Structure 1
Amino acid sequence: MFTDDQPLFNIGVIAQNLQVHPETLRIWEKNELIVPSRRNKQRLYSNNDVKRLKFIHYLINEKGLNIAGVQLLLGMYPCWTKKCCQGSKKGEAVNLNKLCWMDTTTYCFVSEDNANYCSTCEKIQVS
């Protein structure tokens, strides 16, 4: 049985799935938008990595953000790297089962209002 965090897919499969060049994925990795697992120097992506990549792809191609904009926006999503955040909102209902970045129709209320959220997460630093 595979988990969503288990690295399964190589860069060629993911590039074909997203319809981007493999070099695009390398650039996103270089800019720390995604951190794939490595096995024998080969990049391997999990199902959660694929969801993150689809979100990044959406931000760049549908919303028109550049890499710096994506970095800034992702910095506002504490759940991007932390699984304990429960700050995803869709309309008025808080969705405790799905992280913000997994669904392009949700947004993170933590980034919107800097509310205190789960005690094990780091607080967002706003300058």
Structure 2
Amino acid sequence: MALLDNDKDILPLSSISELLSAKIRTLKMYEEKGLLPQKNQKIKKLYSINDVKIIAFVHYLANIKKINANGIKYILEMISENMDEQNRNVFLEIVESKLENVSGNEIQDLESF
């Protein structure tokens, strides 16, 4: 049995906003525009570790690269349709490592958003 199941839905948006240093309202806006992984929970939506990687990628595209919602949807659709799960996970790990090295100026831009 694996110690950690990265697909188990355990994190609310409030916790993800703290992890990403993002405003919860920003994440809710992404959710309203259909940019976050779709969840079936009715009362409180929870997200997995793998979902957090996608949410971080969406946040990066929106706030640092200044891509609009339609552009982000297109990018996510291309990733979903053209990559198998293994390649998608490798891609998201690469993105995660790149996000860890975001410059100080870009982080300040994120915080002032």
Identify the residue that residue 44 of structure 1 maps to in structure 2.
46
The percentage of aligned residue pairs carrying the same residue is 27
Give the counterpart of 2:92 among 85, 88, 101: 101
Once residues 86 and 16 of structure 1 are traced to their aligned partners in structure 2, the CA distance between those partners, rounded to angstroms, is 28
Structure 1 residues 51-81: Cα deviation after superposition (integer angstroms, max 9, x where no partner): 101111111122221112111111211269x
1:5–1:47 contact (8 Å) kept in structure 2: yes
- The structure carrying a bigger helix percent of its residues is 2
Identify unmatched segments of 5+ residues in structure 2: 97-113
Going by fraction, where is strand more abundant, 1 or 2? 1
Q: Distance in 2 between matches of 1:39 and 1:7?
A: 10
CA displacement at 1:26 relative to structure 2: 1.8
Counterpart of 1:74 (choices 63, 73, 76) is 76
Tell me the SS of whatever aligns to 1:64: coil
Q: Choose which of 18, 21, 24 in structure 1 pairs with 2:23.
A: 21
The answer to whether the Cα contact below 8 Å between 1:55 and 1:102 also exists between their aligned partners in 2 is no
Q: Distance in 2 between matches of 1:2 and 1:86?
A: 17
Q: What residue in structure 2 maps to residue 30 of structure 1?
A: 32
**Quick check: 1:79–1:99 contact (8 Å CA) kept in 2?**
no
Structure-1 separation of matches of 2:85 and 2:11? 26
TM-score by length of 2: 0.66
- Candidates 33, 54, 57, aligned match of 2:56: 54
Distance 1:45 1:15 in 2: 12
In 2, the alpha carbon distance for the partners of 1:7 and 1:23 equals: 20
* Rg larger in structure: 1
Provide the alpha-carbon RMSD of the alignment.
2.8
Q: TM-score, normalised by structure 1?
A: 0.60
Runs of 4+ in 1 over 4 A off after TM superposition: 85-88
Which SS does the other structure have where 1:100 is aligned?
helix
Matching residue of 1:11: 13
Greater RCO (CA < 8 Å, at least 6 residues apart) = 2
Structure 1 unaligned spans of 5+: 89-97, 106-127
